[in-house]
Chains A and B, each alone.
Chain A
């Protein structure tokens, strides 16, 4: 019998500054552990959430002082959904599979792997439209192994 769990959520808002993504990472990891995400998957989620926040700080908010990054986490029906919202000063969307060999050989910048990495680490991810024009990156993870 499938047990439908009541939704549980947290909301987090941080200054758009490098370093604060760690606070989000810890809070989301703590929430994920609480709702029953397996520990190795929590590590994946931490990396994905950090990357998403760094993108929001660097690209979405263009490192503009005084901007914020908001993170919402909702756990419902055994799915943990994390949304990272920025002010959308710069749009960014879609992910281009990077040329890993080029990066290893130093022919391409080592960065620019964020979205590719996120896609590898979570179950689903993508962009949603936001009424106020910001970028909204969502990432989801199932809290129990798929049979």
Chain B
């Protein structure tokens, strides 16, 4: 019985993942001639957010962002991908995190989507958690979203086309004076 359940569960995961890939494959590329898109699929395992951070930093440097802004982007992206791995994908090894970097003449749009096994807690999107609440938490966490809002120029929490959680972050390229 256990064997059957395991097989069934594995099939369900596979079906879900396949559907997710299909939906994601329909994302149009370079629809706008001045827009360039880099897509990155990551395993849901802590540590691999580094791959997204390094890829995004490379894009941002290429666009001409200052070292400070590149660091801010790295930190915000680390938080967003970590949230996707820990919460949205609930550490499930069969799930993936999709990071899409859209390069525009005056801004970089970074979107992070998970497979939504756990919807994002609306209370977490609130402007800032209280420090007292954080201290009472075992992990002392809960500051990720606040941090993302502090670091990025625009932040939006939406539902991905696949039904997962999606965070869309925008960082503006300031004109050199």
A: residues with CB less than 8 A from B are 6, 8-15, 17, 19-20, 22-23, 25-27, 29-31, 33-34, 66, 68
Contacts and interface: CB of A to CB of B under 8 A. Distances in A.
13 contacts: A11-B39, A13-B39, A15-B36, A15-B37, A19-B62, A22-B58, A22-B62, A23-B58, A26-B55, A26-B57, A27-B54, A30-B53, A66-B29
B75 to A, nearest CB: 16
Contacts of B93: 6
B40 interface: yes
Nearest to A27: B55
Contacts of A8: 43, 45, 48
Q: Chain B at the A interface: mostly helix, strand, loop or mixed?
A: mixed
A27 B51 contact: yes
Contacts, number: 68
Most buried by A among B41, B43, B45, B51: B51
A120 to B, nearest CB: 25
Q: Chain A at the B interface: mostly helix, strand, loop or mixed?
A: mixed
A30 B50 contact: yes
A10 B54 contact: no
A12 B29 contact: no
B19 interface: no
Most buried by A among B29, B38, B47, B93: B38
B30 A10 contact: no
Given A11-B39, A22-B58, A31-B48, 7 more contacts: A8-B45, A9-B43, A10-B41, A12-B39, A15-B36, A34-B51, A66-B29
Contacts of A10: 40-43, 48, 51
